[in-house]
Chain A
Protein backbone atom coordinates (compact mmCIF):
# COMPACT_ATOMS: atom_id res chain seq x y z
CA UNK A 1 0.00 0.00 0.00
CA UNK A 2 2.80 2.43 0.89
CA UNK A 3 4.12 2.76 -2.69
CA UNK A 4 0.68 3.67 -3.98
CA UNK A 5 0.28 6.48 -1.46
CA UNK A 6 3.20 8.52 -2.80
CA UNK A 7 1.92 8.97 -6.38
CA UNK A 8 -1.55 9.64 -4.98
CA UNK A 9 -0.17 12.45 -2.82
CA UNK A 10 1.76 13.92 -5.72
CA UNK A 11 -1.36 13.92 -7.89
CA UNK A 12 -3.22 16.06 -5.32
CA UNK A 13 -3.59 19.69 -6.38
CA UNK A 14 -2.30 20.79 -2.96
CA UNK A 15 0.99 18.98 -3.37
CA UNK A 16 2.72 21.51 -5.64
CA UNK A 17 1.84 24.54 -3.47
CA UNK A 18 2.92 22.61 -0.39
CA UNK A 19 6.36 21.85 -1.80
CA UNK A 20 6.72 25.45 -2.96
CA UNK A 21 5.83 26.73 0.49
CA UNK A 22 8.32 24.46 2.27
CA UNK A 23 10.96 25.43 -0.29
CA UNK A 24 10.31 29.14 0.32
CA UNK A 25 10.61 28.69 4.07
CA UNK A 26 13.94 26.88 3.63
CA UNK A 27 15.39 29.47 1.25
CA UNK A 28 14.30 32.51 3.26
CA UNK A 29 15.43 30.99 6.53
CA UNK A 30 18.84 29.97 5.20
CA UNK A 31 19.50 33.48 3.87
CA UNK A 32 18.12 35.33 6.87
CA UNK A 33 17.31 33.36 10.06
CA UNK A 34 15.36 36.36 11.37
CA UNK A 35 12.70 35.21 8.92
CA UNK A 36 11.51 32.61 11.44
CA UNK A 37 11.79 34.90 14.48
CA UNK A 38 8.65 35.11 16.65
CA UNK A 39 8.31 38.79 15.82
CA UNK A 40 8.38 38.22 12.08
CA UNK A 41 6.00 35.27 12.28
CA UNK A 42 3.56 37.27 14.39
CA UNK A 43 3.70 40.21 11.99
CA UNK A 44 3.17 38.05 8.94
CA UNK A 45 0.26 36.20 10.49
CA UNK A 46 -1.54 39.39 11.50
CA UNK A 47 -2.45 40.66 8.07
CA UNK A 48 -2.40 37.23 6.47
CA UNK A 49 -5.50 36.07 8.31
CA UNK A 50 -7.38 39.24 7.38
CA UNK A 51 -6.94 38.93 3.63
CA UNK A 52 -7.10 35.16 4.06
CA UNK A 53 -10.71 35.31 5.26
CA UNK A 54 -11.67 36.77 1.88
CA UNK A 55 -9.73 34.11 0.00
CA UNK A 56 -11.50 31.32 1.89
CA UNK A 57 -14.94 32.56 0.88
CA UNK A 58 -13.71 33.25 -2.65
CA UNK A 59 -12.62 29.61 -2.90
CA UNK A 60 -16.21 28.42 -2.57
CA UNK A 61 -17.48 31.07 -4.96
CA UNK A 62 -14.87 30.16 -7.57
CA UNK A 63 -15.61 26.47 -7.17
CA UNK A 64 -19.18 27.29 -8.12
CA UNK A 65 -17.87 28.88 -11.31
CA UNK A 66 -18.11 32.57 -10.38
CA UNK A 67 -15.80 35.13 -8.84
CA UNK A 68 -16.09 38.51 -7.17
CA UNK A 69 -13.94 41.50 -8.07
CA UNK A 70 -15.70 43.78 -5.58
CA UNK A 71 -14.22 42.24 -2.41
CA UNK A 72 -11.43 44.81 -2.13
CA UNK A 73 -13.94 47.64 -2.41
CA UNK A 74 -16.21 46.05 0.22
CA UNK A 75 -13.14 45.59 2.45
CA UNK A 76 -12.64 49.36 2.32
CA UNK A 77 -16.30 50.35 2.39
CA UNK A 78 -17.58 48.33 5.35
CA UNK A 79 -15.36 49.94 8.03
CA UNK A 80 -16.01 53.38 6.55
CA UNK A 81 -19.72 52.75 6.94
CA UNK A 82 -19.35 51.41 10.47
CA UNK A 83 -17.21 54.32 11.67
CA UNK A 84 -19.36 56.91 9.91
CA UNK A 85 -22.46 55.57 11.67
CA UNK A 86 -20.62 55.55 14.97
CA UNK A 87 -18.90 58.93 14.65
CA UNK A 88 -22.08 60.69 13.63
CA UNK A 89 -23.79 59.25 16.71
CA UNK A 90 -26.44 57.44 14.69
CA UNK A 91 -25.67 54.04 16.18
CA UNK A 92 -23.39 52.36 18.66
CA UNK A 93 -20.27 50.69 17.31
CA UNK A 94 -21.85 47.26 17.68
CA UNK A 95 -24.99 48.20 15.77
CA UNK A 96 -22.82 49.89 13.15
CA UNK A 97 -20.91 46.65 12.82
CA UNK A 98 -24.07 44.66 12.22
CA UNK A 99 -25.39 47.23 9.73
CA UNK A 100 -22.08 47.14 7.84
CA UNK A 101 -22.26 43.35 7.55
CA UNK A 102 -25.91 43.46 6.46
CA UNK A 103 -25.06 46.08 3.85
CA UNK A 104 -22.30 43.82 2.57
CA UNK A 105 -24.80 40.95 2.38
CA UNK A 106 -27.05 43.19 0.31
CA UNK A 107 -24.13 44.04 -2.00
CA UNK A 108 -23.40 40.33 -2.43
CA UNK A 109 -27.06 39.55 -3.05
CA UNK A 110 -27.22 42.27 -5.70
CA UNK A 111 -24.20 40.84 -7.52
CA UNK A 112 -25.71 37.37 -7.20
CA UNK A 113 -29.01 38.58 -8.60
CA UNK A 114 -27.37 40.13 -11.66
CA UNK A 115 -25.36 36.96 -12.27
CA UNK A 116 -28.04 34.33 -11.66
CA UNK A 117 -31.16 36.12 -12.85
CA UNK A 118 -29.89 38.37 -15.63
CA UNK A 119 -27.19 35.85 -16.61
CA UNK A 120 -24.51 38.53 -16.84
CA UNK A 121 -20.96 37.19 -16.38
CA UNK A 122 -19.66 37.73 -12.86
CA UNK A 123 -16.59 39.50 -14.26
CA UNK A 124 -18.75 42.37 -15.55
CA UNK A 125 -21.22 42.42 -12.65
CA UNK A 126 -18.61 42.54 -9.91
CA UNK A 127 -16.44 45.00 -11.85
CA UNK A 128 -19.43 47.32 -11.89
CA UNK A 129 -20.06 46.61 -8.23
CA UNK A 130 -16.41 47.38 -7.42
CA UNK A 131 -16.80 50.84 -8.94
CA UNK A 132 -20.14 51.51 -7.26
CA UNK A 133 -18.93 50.43 -3.80
CA UNK A 134 -15.53 52.08 -3.98
CA UNK A 135 -17.11 55.18 -5.45
CA UNK A 136 -19.62 55.34 -2.61
CA UNK A 137 -16.88 55.00 0.00
CA UNK A 138 -14.89 57.80 -1.62
CA UNK A 139 -17.92 60.02 -2.08
CA UNK A 140 -19.30 59.84 1.46
CA UNK A 141 -15.86 60.46 2.96
CA UNK A 142 -14.76 62.97 0.33
CA UNK A 143 -11.78 60.66 0.01
CA UNK A 144 -10.51 61.27 3.54
CA UNK A 145 -9.85 58.58 6.14
CA UNK A 146 -12.53 58.36 8.81
CA UNK A 147 -11.84 59.30 12.37
CA UNK A 148 -11.52 56.15 14.43
CA UNK A 149 -11.61 56.04 18.12
CA UNK A 150 -9.37 53.81 20.11
CA UNK A 151 -11.70 50.93 20.84
CA UNK A 152 -9.51 49.28 23.48
CA UNK A 153 -11.44 47.44 26.10
CA UNK A 154 -14.53 47.37 23.91
CA UNK A 155 -16.11 43.96 23.72
CA UNK A 156 -16.40 44.10 19.93
CA UNK A 157 -12.74 45.01 19.54
CA UNK A 158 -11.69 42.28 21.94
CA UNK A 159 -13.74 39.66 20.16
CA UNK A 160 -12.53 40.62 16.72
CA UNK A 161 -8.90 41.58 17.21
CA UNK A 162 -8.03 41.33 20.90
CA UNK A 163 -4.34 40.50 21.14
CA UNK A 164 -2.56 38.15 23.48
CA UNK A 165 0.77 36.41 23.80
CA UNK A 166 1.52 32.73 23.49
CA UNK A 167 5.16 32.52 24.55
CA UNK A 168 6.97 35.07 22.43
CA UNK A 169 4.22 35.20 19.77
CA UNK A 170 1.87 38.16 19.70
CA UNK A 171 -1.37 36.85 18.27
CA UNK A 172 -4.74 38.41 17.50
CA UNK A 173 -8.21 36.94 17.95
CA UNK A 174 -8.61 37.23 14.17
CA UNK A 175 -6.36 34.17 13.92
CA UNK A 176 -9.09 32.13 15.58
CA UNK A 177 -11.72 33.53 13.26
CA UNK A 178 -9.52 32.49 10.38
CA UNK A 179 -9.00 28.97 11.74
CA UNK A 180 -12.71 28.60 12.38
CA UNK A 181 -13.47 29.72 8.82
CA UNK A 182 -10.94 27.21 7.45
CA UNK A 183 -12.50 24.34 9.36
CA UNK A 184 -16.10 25.26 8.58
CA UNK A 185 -15.58 25.99 4.90
CA UNK A 186 -13.43 22.90 4.39
CA UNK A 187 -16.19 20.84 5.97
CA UNK A 188 -18.85 22.51 3.84
CA UNK A 189 -16.93 21.96 0.62
CA UNK A 190 -15.94 18.35 1.18
CA UNK A 191 -18.52 16.81 3.51
CA UNK A 192 -21.82 18.61 3.10
CA UNK A 193 -24.52 18.31 0.48
CA UNK A 194 -24.19 22.01 -0.22
CA UNK A 195 -20.54 21.33 -1.03
CA UNK A 196 -21.60 18.77 -3.62
CA UNK A 197 -23.98 21.32 -5.14
CA UNK A 198 -21.26 24.00 -5.21
CA UNK A 199 -18.94 21.70 -7.13
CA UNK A 200 -21.70 20.56 -9.47
CA UNK A 201 -22.79 24.17 -10.08
CA UNK A 202 -19.29 24.98 -11.26
CA UNK A 203 -18.65 21.72 -13.06
CA UNK A 204 -21.82 21.26 -15.08
CA UNK A 205 -24.66 23.61 -14.14
CA UNK A 206 -27.13 22.06 -16.63
CA UNK A 207 -26.61 18.63 -15.12
CA UNK A 208 -26.98 20.03 -11.61
CA UNK A 209 -30.21 21.85 -12.49
CA UNK A 210 -31.57 18.70 -14.11
CA UNK A 211 -31.00 16.86 -10.82
CA UNK A 212 -33.06 19.47 -9.01
CA UNK A 213 -30.10 21.35 -7.52
CA UNK A 214 -30.93 25.02 -7.05
CA UNK A 215 -27.82 26.40 -8.72
CA UNK A 216 -29.00 30.01 -8.62
CA UNK A 217 -29.65 29.92 -4.88
CA UNK A 218 -26.33 28.18 -4.23
CA UNK A 219 -24.41 30.86 -6.13
CA UNK A 220 -26.44 33.63 -4.54
CA UNK A 221 -25.48 32.34 -1.09
CA UNK A 222 -21.82 32.29 -2.06
CA UNK A 223 -21.87 35.87 -3.39
CA UNK A 224 -23.36 36.94 -0.06
CA UNK A 225 -20.76 34.93 1.86
CA UNK A 226 -17.94 36.47 -0.14
CA UNK A 227 -19.13 40.04 0.44
CA UNK A 228 -19.81 39.49 4.16
CA UNK A 229 -16.36 37.94 4.64
CA UNK A 230 -14.75 40.89 2.85
CA UNK A 231 -16.64 43.31 5.12
CA UNK A 232 -15.73 41.29 8.21
CA UNK A 233 -12.06 41.27 7.19
CA UNK A 234 -12.13 45.00 6.45
CA UNK A 235 -13.60 45.79 9.86
CA UNK A 236 -11.08 43.57 11.67
CA UNK A 237 -8.26 45.27 9.81
CA UNK A 238 -9.68 48.70 10.52
CA UNK A 239 -10.07 48.14 14.27
CA UNK A 240 -6.58 46.68 14.50
CA UNK A 241 -4.90 49.54 12.63
CA UNK A 242 -7.26 52.21 13.99
CA UNK A 243 -7.83 53.47 10.49
CA UNK A 244 -10.78 53.55 8.11
CA UNK A 245 -9.48 54.63 4.76
CA UNK A 246 -11.92 54.63 1.84
CA UNK A 247 -9.07 53.50 -0.38
CA UNK A 248 -8.04 50.50 1.66
CA UNK A 249 -8.35 47.12 0.04
CA UNK A 250 -7.51 48.45 -3.41
CA UNK A 251 -6.21 45.60 -5.54
CA UNK A 252 -7.01 42.92 -2.98
CA UNK A 253 -9.41 41.21 -5.37
CA UNK A 254 -6.55 40.16 -7.62
CA UNK A 255 -4.31 39.07 -4.76
CA UNK A 256 -7.16 36.98 -3.35
CA UNK A 257 -7.93 35.35 -6.70
CA UNK A 258 -4.21 34.62 -7.09
CA UNK A 259 -4.16 32.95 -3.66
CA UNK A 260 -7.11 30.77 -4.61
CA UNK A 261 -5.83 29.63 -8.00
CA UNK A 262 -2.28 29.02 -6.73
CA UNK A 263 -3.83 26.63 -4.24
CA UNK A 264 -5.36 24.57 -7.01
CA UNK A 265 -8.95 25.80 -7.27
CA UNK A 266 -10.01 26.00 -10.92
CA UNK A 267 -10.78 29.50 -12.25
CA UNK A 268 -13.45 27.88 -14.41
CA UNK A 269 -15.14 26.17 -11.48
CA UNK A 270 -16.01 22.62 -10.54
CA UNK A 271 -12.94 21.94 -8.44
CA UNK A 272 -11.86 23.71 -5.27
CA UNK A 273 -9.75 23.16 -2.20
CA UNK A 274 -9.67 25.09 1.05
CA UNK A 275 -6.39 23.47 2.08
CA UNK A 276 -4.90 24.61 -1.22
CA UNK A 277 -6.15 28.14 -0.60
CA UNK A 278 -4.55 28.17 2.86
CA UNK A 279 -1.28 27.25 1.15
CA UNK A 280 -1.88 29.92 -1.50
CA UNK A 281 -2.44 32.52 1.24
CA UNK A 282 0.75 31.42 3.03
CA UNK A 283 2.78 31.45 -0.18
CA UNK A 284 1.82 34.96 -1.26
CA UNK A 285 2.09 36.56 2.18
CA UNK A 286 5.33 34.79 3.10
CA UNK A 287 6.77 35.69 -0.27
CA UNK A 288 6.01 39.36 0.23
CA UNK A 289 7.55 39.28 3.69
CA UNK A 290 10.50 37.04 2.78
CA UNK A 291 11.85 38.79 -0.26
CA UNK A 292 12.11 42.01 1.71
CA UNK A 293 13.89 40.26 4.56
CA UNK A 294 16.45 38.71 2.23
CA UNK A 295 17.13 42.07 0.63
CA UNK A 296 15.31 41.83 -2.68
CA UNK A 297 13.80 45.27 -3.43
CA UNK A 298 10.11 45.31 -2.52
CA UNK A 299 9.33 46.69 -5.94
CA UNK A 300 10.39 43.35 -7.43
CA UNK A 301 7.63 41.56 -5.48
CA UNK A 302 5.22 41.39 -8.39
CA UNK A 303 7.79 39.67 -10.60
CA UNK A 304 7.95 36.79 -8.15
CA UNK A 305 4.20 36.65 -7.68
CA UNK A 306 3.63 36.59 -11.42
CA UNK A 307 6.18 33.82 -11.83
CA UNK A 308 4.56 31.79 -9.03
CA UNK A 309 1.12 32.14 -10.59
CA UNK A 310 2.38 31.07 -14.01
CA UNK A 311 4.37 28.17 -12.59
CA UNK A 312 1.52 26.88 -10.44
CA UNK A 313 -0.98 27.19 -13.29
CA UNK A 314 1.32 25.15 -15.52
CA UNK A 315 1.60 22.54 -12.79
CA UNK A 316 -2.15 22.35 -12.14
CA UNK A 317 -3.00 22.13 -15.83
CA UNK A 318 -0.39 19.41 -16.25
CA UNK A 319 -1.95 17.40 -13.41
CA UNK A 320 -5.39 17.96 -14.87
CA UNK A 321 -4.33 16.72 -18.29
CA UNK A 322 -2.69 13.63 -16.81
CA UNK A 323 -5.93 12.99 -14.98
CA UNK A 324 -8.02 13.29 -18.15
CA UNK A 325 -5.43 11.25 -20.05
CA UNK A 326 -6.39 8.28 -17.93
CA UNK A 327 -9.69 7.92 -19.75
Chain B
Protein backbone atom coordinates (compact mmCIF):
# COMPACT_ATOMS: atom_id res chain seq x y z
CA UNK B 1 0.00 0.00 0.00
CA UNK B 2 1.05 3.55 -0.67
CA UNK B 3 2.04 6.17 1.91
CA UNK B 4 -0.52 7.15 4.55
CA UNK B 5 -1.80 10.59 3.55
CA UNK B 6 -3.94 11.35 6.58
CA UNK B 7 -4.01 9.58 9.92
CA UNK B 8 -6.52 10.37 12.62
CA UNK B 9 -5.61 8.78 15.93
CA UNK B 10 -7.85 8.12 18.91
CA UNK B 11 -10.25 10.93 18.07
CA UNK B 12 -12.82 11.61 20.76
CA UNK B 13 -15.63 14.07 20.50
CA UNK B 14 -18.40 14.81 22.97
CA UNK B 15 -21.30 17.17 22.35
CA UNK B 16 -22.15 17.85 25.97
CA UNK B 17 -23.18 14.44 27.26
CA UNK B 18 -23.48 12.85 23.83
CA UNK B 19 -20.30 10.94 23.05
CA UNK B 20 -20.26 11.08 19.29
CA UNK B 21 -16.72 9.68 18.86
CA UNK B 22 -15.15 7.32 21.31
CA UNK B 23 -11.61 6.95 20.10
CA UNK B 24 -11.82 6.60 16.34
CA UNK B 25 -8.78 5.87 14.17
CA UNK B 26 -8.90 6.47 10.44
CA UNK B 27 -6.11 6.25 7.91
CA UNK B 28 -6.42 7.33 4.30
CA UNK B 29 -3.62 6.41 1.89
CA UNK B 30 -2.52 8.33 -1.13
CA UNK B 31 -4.55 7.88 -4.24
CA UNK B 32 -7.40 5.86 -2.78
CA UNK B 33 -11.12 6.26 -2.27
CA UNK B 34 -12.27 5.23 1.18
CA UNK B 35 -15.95 4.52 1.71
CA UNK B 36 -17.08 5.43 5.22
CA UNK B 37 -20.20 3.52 6.22
CA UNK B 38 -22.26 3.30 9.36
CA UNK B 39 -25.79 3.63 10.64
CA UNK B 40 -27.45 6.95 11.42
CA UNK B 41 -25.66 8.57 14.32
CA UNK B 42 -22.62 6.31 14.07
CA UNK B 43 -20.35 9.36 14.01
CA UNK B 44 -19.31 9.53 10.35
CA UNK B 45 -20.14 13.19 9.88
CA UNK B 46 -18.60 14.12 13.18
CA UNK B 47 -15.37 12.33 12.28
CA UNK B 48 -14.98 14.12 8.97
CA UNK B 49 -16.03 17.43 10.49
CA UNK B 50 -13.11 17.10 12.87
CA UNK B 51 -10.85 16.51 9.89
CA UNK B 52 -12.29 19.40 7.89
CA UNK B 53 -12.06 21.86 10.76
CA UNK B 54 -15.81 22.31 11.12
CA UNK B 55 -15.88 21.05 14.74
CA UNK B 56 -13.02 20.73 17.23
CA UNK B 57 -12.23 17.27 18.61
CA UNK B 58 -12.28 16.79 22.36
CA UNK B 59 -9.01 14.86 22.08
CA UNK B 60 -6.91 12.96 19.56
CA UNK B 61 -4.28 13.73 16.96
CA UNK B 62 -4.21 14.25 13.22
CA UNK B 63 -1.16 13.56 11.05
CA UNK B 64 -0.72 14.54 7.44
CA UNK B 65 2.09 12.66 5.66
CA UNK B 66 3.40 11.71 9.06
CA UNK B 67 3.46 15.22 10.43
CA UNK B 68 1.21 16.27 13.26
CA UNK B 69 -1.08 19.15 12.33
CA UNK B 70 -3.62 21.25 14.13
CA UNK B 71 -6.83 21.99 12.26
CA UNK B 72 -8.88 24.70 13.90
CA UNK B 73 -10.97 25.99 11.02
CA UNK B 74 -12.16 25.09 7.55
CA UNK B 75 -9.57 27.47 6.17
CA UNK B 76 -6.84 25.54 8.09
CA UNK B 77 -8.02 22.28 6.58
CA UNK B 78 -8.05 23.73 3.07
CA UNK B 79 -4.55 25.07 3.61
CA UNK B 80 -3.52 21.52 4.54
CA UNK B 81 -5.01 20.19 1.33
CA UNK B 82 -8.24 18.82 2.79
CA UNK B 83 -11.36 19.89 0.97
CA UNK B 84 -14.84 18.97 2.14
CA UNK B 85 -17.80 19.01 -0.18
CA UNK B 86 -21.24 19.32 1.30
CA UNK B 87 -24.25 19.54 -0.88
CA UNK B 88 -24.56 23.24 -1.83
CA UNK B 89 -23.04 24.80 1.23
CA UNK B 90 -19.56 25.43 -0.17
CA UNK B 91 -20.62 27.50 -3.18
CA UNK B 92 -21.95 31.02 -3.58
CA UNK B 93 -25.02 30.48 -5.74
CA UNK B 94 -25.12 34.05 -7.03
CA UNK B 95 -21.61 33.87 -8.42
CA UNK B 96 -20.54 32.19 -11.64
CA UNK B 97 -18.79 28.83 -11.90
CA UNK B 98 -15.45 30.50 -12.61
CA UNK B 99 -15.79 33.04 -9.78
CA UNK B 100 -16.61 30.24 -7.35
CA UNK B 101 -13.72 28.10 -8.49
CA UNK B 102 -11.27 30.89 -7.75
CA UNK B 103 -13.00 32.51 -4.76
CA UNK B 104 -10.34 33.74 -2.37
CA UNK B 105 -7.53 32.89 -4.83
CA UNK B 106 -8.45 34.97 -7.84
CA UNK B 107 -5.57 35.49 -10.26
CA UNK B 108 -4.65 39.16 -10.73
CA UNK B 109 -4.04 40.80 -14.08
CA UNK B 110 -1.91 43.92 -14.42
CA UNK B 111 -0.61 46.05 -11.57
CA UNK B 112 -1.50 44.79 -8.09
CA UNK B 113 -2.88 48.18 -7.14
CA UNK B 114 -5.82 47.77 -9.50
CA UNK B 115 -6.71 44.43 -7.92
CA UNK B 116 -8.09 43.33 -11.27
CA UNK B 117 -9.25 39.73 -11.59
CA UNK B 118 -8.01 37.92 -14.66
CA UNK B 119 -11.46 36.80 -15.72
CA UNK B 120 -10.37 35.42 -19.12
CA UNK B 121 -7.86 33.11 -17.46
CA UNK B 122 -10.41 32.10 -14.82
CA UNK B 123 -12.98 31.26 -17.47
CA UNK B 124 -10.49 29.29 -19.54
CA UNK B 125 -9.37 27.20 -16.57
CA UNK B 126 -12.98 26.69 -15.49
CA UNK B 127 -13.99 25.43 -18.93
CA UNK B 128 -11.09 23.01 -18.95
CA UNK B 129 -11.78 21.76 -15.42
CA UNK B 130 -15.46 21.17 -16.05
CA UNK B 131 -14.50 18.96 -18.97
CA UNK B 132 -11.95 17.15 -16.81
CA UNK B 133 -14.42 16.25 -14.07
CA UNK B 134 -16.62 14.88 -16.82
CA UNK B 135 -19.29 17.51 -17.48
CA UNK B 136 -20.03 16.78 -21.11
CA UNK B 137 -22.76 19.39 -21.53
CA UNK B 138 -21.44 22.73 -22.73
CA UNK B 139 -22.00 25.00 -19.72
CA UNK B 140 -20.36 28.45 -20.02
CA UNK B 141 -18.07 29.18 -17.06
CA UNK B 142 -19.95 32.44 -16.50
CA UNK B 143 -23.13 30.56 -15.58
CA UNK B 144 -24.23 31.30 -12.01
CA UNK B 145 -24.31 28.30 -9.68
CA UNK B 146 -28.01 28.95 -9.03
CA UNK B 147 -28.85 27.68 -12.50
CA UNK B 148 -26.91 24.40 -12.13
CA UNK B 149 -28.35 21.07 -11.05
CA UNK B 150 -27.33 19.45 -7.79
CA UNK B 151 -24.96 17.08 -9.53
CA UNK B 152 -23.33 19.87 -11.52
CA UNK B 153 -22.78 21.82 -8.32
CA UNK B 154 -20.97 18.82 -6.85
CA UNK B 155 -18.90 18.74 -10.00
CA UNK B 156 -17.90 22.39 -9.55
CA UNK B 157 -16.87 21.73 -5.95
CA UNK B 158 -14.87 18.66 -6.98
CA UNK B 159 -13.27 20.57 -9.85
CA UNK B 160 -12.17 23.25 -7.41
CA UNK B 161 -10.64 20.69 -5.09
CA UNK B 162 -8.78 19.16 -8.05
CA UNK B 163 -7.53 22.46 -9.37
CA UNK B 164 -6.12 23.64 -6.07
CA UNK B 165 -4.35 20.33 -5.59
CA UNK B 166 -6.31 19.24 -2.56
CA UNK B 167 -4.79 15.95 -1.53
CA UNK B 168 -7.93 14.72 0.15
CA UNK B 169 -11.47 15.39 -0.99
CA UNK B 170 -14.20 14.52 1.51
CA UNK B 171 -17.72 13.97 0.28
CA UNK B 172 -20.44 13.58 2.94
CA UNK B 173 -23.53 12.11 1.34
CA UNK B 174 -22.93 13.84 -1.98
CA UNK B 175 -25.54 11.75 -3.76
CA UNK B 176 -28.44 12.65 -1.45
CA UNK B 177 -31.35 14.16 -3.36
CA UNK B 178 -29.75 13.40 -6.69
CA UNK B 179 -31.35 11.56 -9.58
CA UNK B 180 -29.94 8.42 -11.14
CA UNK B 181 -27.98 10.15 -13.90
CA UNK B 182 -26.68 12.84 -11.56
CA UNK B 183 -25.55 10.22 -9.05
CA UNK B 184 -23.65 8.37 -11.76
CA UNK B 185 -22.10 11.72 -12.66
CA UNK B 186 -20.87 12.35 -9.12
CA UNK B 187 -19.47 8.81 -8.89
CA UNK B 188 -17.64 9.44 -12.15
CA UNK B 189 -16.23 12.76 -10.84
CA UNK B 190 -14.94 10.97 -7.76
CA UNK B 191 -13.24 8.31 -9.88
CA UNK B 192 -11.73 10.97 -12.13
CA UNK B 193 -10.40 12.79 -9.10
CA UNK B 194 -8.75 9.59 -7.84
CA UNK B 195 -7.32 8.83 -11.26
CA UNK B 196 -5.66 12.24 -11.32
CA UNK B 197 -3.95 11.52 -8.02
CA UNK B 198 -6.30 12.67 -5.25
CA UNK B 199 -7.61 10.69 -2.31
CA UNK B 200 -11.26 10.74 -1.28
CA UNK B 201 -13.44 9.89 1.69
CA UNK B 202 -16.89 9.04 0.45
CA UNK B 203 -19.86 8.81 2.81
CA UNK B 204 -23.19 7.55 1.54
CA UNK B 205 -26.10 5.60 2.92
CA UNK B 206 -26.66 3.87 -0.39
CA UNK B 207 -24.25 1.00 -0.02
CA UNK B 208 -24.47 0.18 -3.72
CA UNK B 209 -23.12 3.62 -4.62
CA UNK B 210 -20.25 3.06 -2.24
CA UNK B 211 -19.51 -0.33 -3.74
CA UNK B 212 -19.38 1.15 -7.22
CA UNK B 213 -16.68 3.65 -6.50
CA UNK B 214 -14.50 2.96 -3.46
CA UNK B 215 -11.23 1.05 -3.07
CA UNK B 216 -11.69 0.25 0.61
CA UNK B 217 -14.58 0.31 3.06
CA UNK B 218 -14.37 1.53 6.66
CA UNK B 219 -17.32 0.91 8.97
CA UNK B 220 -18.22 2.93 12.06
CA UNK B 221 -20.59 1.98 14.81
CA UNK B 222 -21.38 3.95 17.98
CA UNK B 223 -18.48 6.34 17.63
CA UNK B 224 -15.83 3.73 16.86
CA UNK B 225 -14.28 2.21 13.78
CA UNK B 226 -15.32 -1.44 13.75
CA UNK B 227 -13.80 -2.51 10.43
CA UNK B 228 -11.28 -0.65 8.33
CA UNK B 229 -10.10 -2.96 5.60
CA UNK B 230 -13.08 -4.30 3.72
CA UNK B 231 -12.36 -4.88 0.05
CA UNK B 232 -15.50 -4.20 -1.97
CA UNK B 233 -14.26 -6.48 -4.73
CA UNK B 234 -14.19 -9.56 -2.55
CA UNK B 235 -16.93 -8.82 -0.03
CA UNK B 236 -20.67 -9.06 -0.52
CA UNK B 237 -23.04 -6.18 0.16
CA UNK B 238 -24.86 -8.38 2.68
CA UNK B 239 -21.69 -9.06 4.65
CA UNK B 240 -20.96 -5.34 4.90
CA UNK B 241 -24.54 -4.66 5.98
CA UNK B 242 -24.06 -7.14 8.79
CA UNK B 243 -20.97 -5.28 9.94
CA UNK B 244 -22.82 -1.96 9.85
CA UNK B 245 -25.71 -3.24 11.96
CA UNK B 246 -23.40 -5.14 14.30
CA UNK B 247 -24.71 -8.58 13.38
CA UNK B 248 -21.45 -9.98 12.00
CA UNK B 249 -20.28 -13.34 13.40
CA UNK B 250 -17.72 -11.97 15.92
CA UNK B 251 -20.45 -10.01 17.74
CA UNK B 252 -22.35 -12.23 20.15
CA UNK B 253 -26.07 -12.21 19.35
CA UNK B 254 -28.26 -10.22 21.69
CA UNK B 255 -25.97 -7.17 21.86
CA UNK B 256 -28.05 -4.09 21.03
CA UNK B 257 -27.20 -2.68 17.63
CA UNK B 258 -26.67 0.97 16.82
CA UNK B 259 -29.89 2.82 17.45
CA UNK B 260 -31.63 4.30 14.47
CA UNK B 261 -31.65 8.09 14.52
Q: Are A210 and B92 in contact (CB under 8 A)?
A: no
Identify 11 new A-B residue pairs, CB closer than 8 A, beyond the known A200-B99, A210-B90: A191-B116, A196-B95, A199-B94, A199-B99, A203-B94, A207-B91, A209-B74, A212-B78, A213-B104, A323-B146, A324-B146
Q: Which residues of A contact B178 (CB under 8 A)?
A: none
Roughly how many angstroms separate A210 CA and B89 CA in the complex, as a whole number? 10
Q: Are B114 and A192 in contact (CB under 8 A)?
A: yes
B contact residues vs A (CB 8 Å cutoff): 74-75, 78-79, 89-95, 99, 102-106, 108, 114-117, 119, 144, 146-149
Chain A 194-228 near chain B by CB (<8 Å), digits 1 or 0: 11110110111011111111000000000000000
Q: Which 9 A-B residue pairs are closest in the complex by CB-CB distance?
A: A211-B104, A203-B92, A210-B74, A270-B94, A192-B115, A203-B94, A212-B104, A193-B106, A326-B147
Roughly how many angstroms separate A191 CA and B107 CA in the complex, as a whole number? 12
Roughly how many angstroms separate A199 CA and B119 CA in the complex, as a whole number? 15
Q: Are B92 and A204 in contact (CB under 8 A)?
A: yes
Roughly how many angstroms separate A208 CA and B106 CA in the complex, as a whole number? 13
Least Cβ distance of B170 to chain A in Å?
13
Interface of A, secondary structure class, is: helix
Q: Are A327 and B148 in contact (CB under 8 A)?
A: yes
CB contacts between A and B, total, < 8 Å: 81
Least Cβ distance of B154 to chain A in Å?
13
Instruction: Report, as a range, how many residues of chain A touch the other chain.
Output: 20 to 34
Q: Which residues of B contact A188 (CB under 8 A)?
A: 115
Q: Are B103 and A200 in contact (CB under 8 A)?
A: yes
Q: Which residues of A contact B92 (CB under 8 A)?
A: 199-200, 203-204, 207-208, 270
- On whether A208 and B103 interact (CB within 8 A), knowing A193-B108, A323-B146, A323-B147, the answer reads yes
A contact residues vs B (CB 8 Å cutoff): 188, 191-197, 199-200, 202-204, 206-213, 270-271, 323-324, 326-327
Roughly how many angstroms separate A196 CA and B104 CA in the complex, as a whole number? 8
